[in-house]
């Protein structure tokens, strides 16, 4: 039956291949996506990334948020499985940069192959992982089927089923049942996620609830010296309060700019830093800010051309957002006013900064509920409510000080998901006689 499902699925892909080819050419030639690591995406993993002794763990996280959530998982895995090797794949370029930053010294970083049978077969046959760990919702039918056929143990870690995924899966129920049948263990974030994955076809005996590994992220506090250096690099004076909009998407920057315009009537010395989710949108955001009557300065150009005292700043670099959160009075986290599902509000909270977000938090609903209940997260709906929330923290500095202790407490309450998940992963491993000893 699994082989028949695999054949049927790939026959369907073959029928759709003309459309898929056109789509891939559009991504590569027009949208400029998937160009980096193209050989790896086609399944041609370089030999030097596969070299080494010991069994291989293939861990996949699609982009930045999932890669950050994966860090405590692979750290716990490597501690529990001494002698095993880490092969860390991502889909996006930003995820690749994040993985290089955190996992580059501990394993090899690659791009996930396209989910076409020749690509995944070539990649998995060359890598020969003993264990495959997929983060959150990264379910690819061919990848899962081939991993299972090659004898890999497959685990979904930090699993979540969003409302959108649940609706989409209802239209492809047979595909989901077949796909989920190739997974040995489902380590879900919440009881609701566990119930949903079972509804989609997962074997209840393979499902467990471990919590959310995003709470296990060790947030590096930014030393005062680094903060001052970044302030100088951005052209910020010490007495200028900074408001930050991080990981923003199209449609959100306009709301942020309108909110900031409302705020400047009461706080004329306040500054705004916008950090788009995709830095290639920096120019479009700059033009939008100018259309709203602001002058603009991009991070990459401030040192050569100092910004005007009232300029809206745009963070057009990769890897500086976490440090920038340390500078702000309050942070809006994007992907939440646009129907994206929300990004990681724990990043500013880990630095003791209040996290503001919109109504679309489907991908992080449990985190959103927890931070709202703890009084460290604040939900807004439009420019007026965002401006009012920013104004509250600018007018009442002691509120920001309360956030520091409350945020530390919520991290403490919810930590341990990565360790619990790894304990479940270890249980599913078939320890052959020649396999390295597992440390418990």
Q: Which of 358, 332, 350 is nearest to 243 (CA)?
A: 332
3-state secondary structure of 357: strand
| Angstrom distance (rounded) from CA 315 to CA 287 | 14
* Residue 240 annotated in active site: no
> Which of 40, 66, 253, 424 is labelled catalytic?
66
Judged by phi (left if over 0) then psi (alpha if -120 to 50, else beta), residue 235 lies in left
Q: How far is CA 61 from the centre of its chain?
A: 8
Pairing state between β 56-60 and 271-276 = unpaired
Q: Among positive and negative, which fits the CA dihedral 110, 76, 115, 362?
A: negative
Count of residues making up the chain: 440
**Tokens linked to 91:** 């889909």
| Angstrom distance (rounded) from CA 214 to CA 237 | 33
Phi first, then psi: give them for residue 181, nearest 5 degrees. Answer: -65, -15
Instruction: Give the side-chain half-sphere CA count within 13 A for 5.
Output: 19
Note whether 332 and 381 are within 8 A (CB).
Answer: no
Judged by phi (left if over 0) then psi (alpha if -120 to 50, else beta), residue 151 lies in left
Which residues does 17 contact at the CB level (< 8 Å), separation at least 6?
A: none
- Full DSSP string of 210-249: ---GGGG--PPP--HHHHHHHHHHHT--TTS-EEEEEEE-
Note whether 153 and 190 are within 8 A (CB).
Answer: no
Give, for 296, the enclosing helix (H) or strand (E): strand 296-298
Note whether 262 and 390 are within 8 A (CB).
Answer: no
- Catalytic residue numbers, as ranges: 66
């Amino acid at each position: 039956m699994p082989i028949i499902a695999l054949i049927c699925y790939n026959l369907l892909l073959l029928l759709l291949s003309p459309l898929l080819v056109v789509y891939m050419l559009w991504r590569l030639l027009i949208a400029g996506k998937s160009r980096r690591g193209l050989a790896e995406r086609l399944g041609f993993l370089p030999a030097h990334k596969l070299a080494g002794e010991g069994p291989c763990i293939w861990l996949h996280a699609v982009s930045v948020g999932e890669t950050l959530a994966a860090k405590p998982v692979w750290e716990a895995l490597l501690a529990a499985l001494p002698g095993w090797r880490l092969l860390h794949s991502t889909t996006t370029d930003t995820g690749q940069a994040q993985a290089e930053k955190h996992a580059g010294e501990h394993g090899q970083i690659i791009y996930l192959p396209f989910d076409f049978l020749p690509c995944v077969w070539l990649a998995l046959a060359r890598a020969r992982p003993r264990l495959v760990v997929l983060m959150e919702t990264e379910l690819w039918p061919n990848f899962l089927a081939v991993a299972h056929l090659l004898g890999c143990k497959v685990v979904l870690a930090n699993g979540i089923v969003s409302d959108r995924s649940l609706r989409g899966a209802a239209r492809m129920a047979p595909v989901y049942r077949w796909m989920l049948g190739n997974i040995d263990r489902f380590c879900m974030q919440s009881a609701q996620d566990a119930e949903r994955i079972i509804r989609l076809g997962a074997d209840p005996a393979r499902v467990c609830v471990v919590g959310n590994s995003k709470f296990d992220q060790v947030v590096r506090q930014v030393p005062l010296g680094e903060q001052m250096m970044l302030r100088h690099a951005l052209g910020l004076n010490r007495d200028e309060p900074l408001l930050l909009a991080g990981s923003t998407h199209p449609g959100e920057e306009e709301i942020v700019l309108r909110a900031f315009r409302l705020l400047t009537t009461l706080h004329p010395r306040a500054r705004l830093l916008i950090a788009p989710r995709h830095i290639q949108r920096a120019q479009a955001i700059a033009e939008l800010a100018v259309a709203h009557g602001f002058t603009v300065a991009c991070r990459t150009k401030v040192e050569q051309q100092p910004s005007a005292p009232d300029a809206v700043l745009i963070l057009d670099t990769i890897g500086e957002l976490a440090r920038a959160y340390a500078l702000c009075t309050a942070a809006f986290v994007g992907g939440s006013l646009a129907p994206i599902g929300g990004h990681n509000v724990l990043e500013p909270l880990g630095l003791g900064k209040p996290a503001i977000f919109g109504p679309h938090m489907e991908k992080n609903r449990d985190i959103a509920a927890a931070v709202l209940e703890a009084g460290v997260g604040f939900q807004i709906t439009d420019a007026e409510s965002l401006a009012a929330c920013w104004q509250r923290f600018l007018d009442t500095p002691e509120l920001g000080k309360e956030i520091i202790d409350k945020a530390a407490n919520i991290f403490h309450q919810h930590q341990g998901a990565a360790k619990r998940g790894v304990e479940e992963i270890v249980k599913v491993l078939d320890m052959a006689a020649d396999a390295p000893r597992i440390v418990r």
